[in-house]
Amino acid sequence: MSTALYPLVPPFVAVVILIARLLIDFGYKFGLVDQPNSRSSHVGAVPRVGGISIFIPYILLGLGLYFANFDFVVNNAPYWIGLSAIVVLGTIDDRLNLSSKFKFSIQFAVAAYYVLSSGNYVDNMYGLFGIGVLPSWLGITLSIITVVYLINAVNLIDGVDGLAAGTSMLSLYLLSTLMGGGEFFFSFAFLGLGLIVFMGFNFSSNKKIFLGDAGSLGLGFVLATMAMEFLHSGNGHFEHMNLSPIVAAVLILGYPIADTLRVFMIRIATGSSPFVADRRHMHHVLLDKGFTHFGTTTFTMACVGTIVLMNKTLAPMLNSHLMIVLNIGAILLIHMFVRHRSVQLRIFWRSFSRAIFNPVKKVWSRYVTN
């Protein structure tokens, strides 16, 4: 990220905090609230304004940098236009509860616009399963479907305080690092700070807000477009890697990808529509095992971080196909441990997370949300 942008960091954080506080009353007044239902784990209406609080300053910052002729913004106009459309769609959905068909049609249109306008799509499988260069029509089609899938995958894991925000922040950091930092660190730096601010409000007891679809769909779009930028062979972001770029991208975005795929498969196997909401997501499993929202989020992020560290350590020694088997084994092991040793795990993790994070939560509640 350009050093010229560093002075913008403190005012950006201040603006996110200010907008979040101001939009709480706005959310109640104009119906941007989440009402509890049979799948909810919260009590009472909660404003769905977290995503707006983050993305309004972020998009306005991008607009300002566009008029200031910052090349990395000017050259990525499809990203900013697509993100704005998705955030508007999510905001309207938070208020009006749009039909799934309408939302999918807009998402596919935005994904197609981004892929075709930016030229960023998966054009090569890099030898994974013996597959190399893909025909343009196939790569573009698969990429559009993937972008829509990731947009909704992040949305579907947004069922526990801090989970979508925390895992997205980790993925933003990893993708921007793999792409060499620089201009790609821009999204992590500003969105990451915005997500930290949001999580402070999200875990607050008296100033609680949710991301809403504007936030979760927006984050999904950001991660999906970064993945397309990373995977397009012409951009050369992975020449230094020992692991297949496809495997690396799937691992970085592994939690929303795996959890959504797992739930879809279970629903189809039981004769239900894959798009019918239920309580089969992993965060629901952890909540039903007695984990708190905070414990569920921190435990999931710790598991994701551990798997990433394992891959970073072993990738130079094993090929991509063995790494796939190893990761599937690690995921199954974690799943079995949660299922059959949940009591011991919950007691340990509650003590551990409280010791680490409670002092931070107290300072945040005293000086920011209050």
**pLDDT-derived band of residue 164, with 50, 70 and 90 as boundaries?**
very high
Most confident of 153-162, 182-191, 341-350: 153-162
pLDDT over 80 at 101, yes or no: yes
Tell me what percent of the residues of the chain surpass a pLDDT of 90. Answer: 38
**pLDDT value of position 38:** 59
**pLDDT value of position 40:** 56
Q: Which residue has the higher pLDDT, 151 or 278?
A: 151
pLDDT over 80 at 363, yes or no: no
Q: Which residue has the higher pLDDT, 191 or 7?
A: 191
**pLDDT value of position 23:** 92
**pLDDT value of position 214:** 95
Do residues 228 and 175 lie in contact, with contact meaning Cβ atoms separated by under 8 Å? no
Residue 11: give the domain boundaries. Answer: 3-369
pLDDT over 80 at 39, yes or no: no
d(CA 252, CA 305): 9
pLDDT over 70 at 53, yes or no: yes
**pLDDT value of position 258:** 86
Beta strands in 252-351 (DSSP E): none
What dihedral do alpha carbons 25, 29, 34, 37 form, nearest 10°? 130
Structural tokens at position 81: 């236009």
Q: Count the neighbouring beta carbons within 10 Å of the beta carbon of residue 157.
A: 23
Q: What is the mean pLDDT of the chain?
A: 86
Q: Is 43 helix (H, G, I), strand (E, B) or coil?
A: coil
Angle of helix 100-118 versus helix 212-231 axis, rounded to 10 = 30
Q: Which of 244, 210, 223, 230 is nearest to 169 (CA)?
A: 223
Lowest mean pLDDT among 60-64, 139-143, 183-187: 183-187
pLDDT over 80 at 117, yes or no: yes
**pLDDT value of position 91:** 95
Angle of helix 100-118 versus helix 77-96 axis, rounded to 10 = 170
Buried-state track 57-95, b at ≥16 Cβ within 10 A, e below 16: bbeebbeebeeeebeebeebebbbebbbbbbebbbbbbb
pLDDT, tens digit (0-9, with 9 covering 90-100), for 172-217: 988 888 887 667 778 888 999 999 999 989 988 788 899 999 999 9
Q: Which residue has the higher pLDDT, 43 or 101?
A: 101
Structural tokens at position 62: 């991008």
pLDDT over 90 at 289, yes or no: no
pLDDT, tens digit (0-9, with 9 covering 90-100), for 230-268: 998 877 776 666 778 888 888 889 888 888 888 888 888
**pLDDT value of position 317:** 79
SS3 content of the chain, % helix, strand, coil (to 5): 75, 0, 25
Structural tokens at position 228: 């397309």
Do residues 246 and 129 lie in contact, with contact meaning Cβ atoms separated by under 8 Å? no
Residues counted in the chain: 370
**pLDDT value of position 355:** 72
d(CA 179, CA 226): 9
Residues contacting 101, CB < 8 A, separation 6+:
none
pLDDT over 70 at 361, yes or no: no
d(CA 107, CA 86): 7
The predicted model scores a pTM of 0.90
Average pLDDT estimate for 119-125: 91
- Whole-angstrom Cα Rg for the chain: 20
d(CA 60, CA 327): 39
Dihedral pair phi/psi, residue 124, rounded to 5°: -155, 140
Residues contacting 284, CB < 8 A, separation 6+:
39, 159
pLDDT over 80 at 362, yes or no: no
**pLDDT value of position 369:** 59
Dihedral pair phi/psi, residue 207, rounded to 5°: -130, 40
Quote the Cα angle for 342-345-348, to 5°: 150
**pLDDT value of position 285:** 81
How many domains are there within the chain?
Answer: 1
Most confident of 46-50, 177-181, 329-333: 46-50
Q: Count the neighbouring beta carbons within 10 Å of the beta carbon of residue 368.
A: 15
Q: Which of 218, 222, 221 is nearest to 188 (CA)?
A: 222
Structural tokens at position 184: 């790609």
Average pLDDT estimate for 118-125: 92
Cα–Cα distances in Å, from 170 out to 188, 279, 300, 317? 9, 25, 11, 24
Q: Which residue has the higher pLDDT, 325 or 108?
A: 108
Most confident of 94-98, 106-110, 159-163: 106-110
pLDDT over 60 at 219, yes or no: yes
Angle of helix 50-67 versus helix 9-30 axis, rounded to 10 = 130
**pLDDT-derived band of residue 310, with 50, 70 and 90 as boundaries?**
confident
**pLDDT value of position 6:** 78
- Give the count of alpha carbons within 13 A of 77, CB side only: 6
Query: Kind and range of the H or E element at 46?
Result: strand 46-47
**Residue carrying the six token digits 């708190």:** 292
Q: Which of 167, 189, 203, 164 is nearest to 302 (CA)?
A: 167
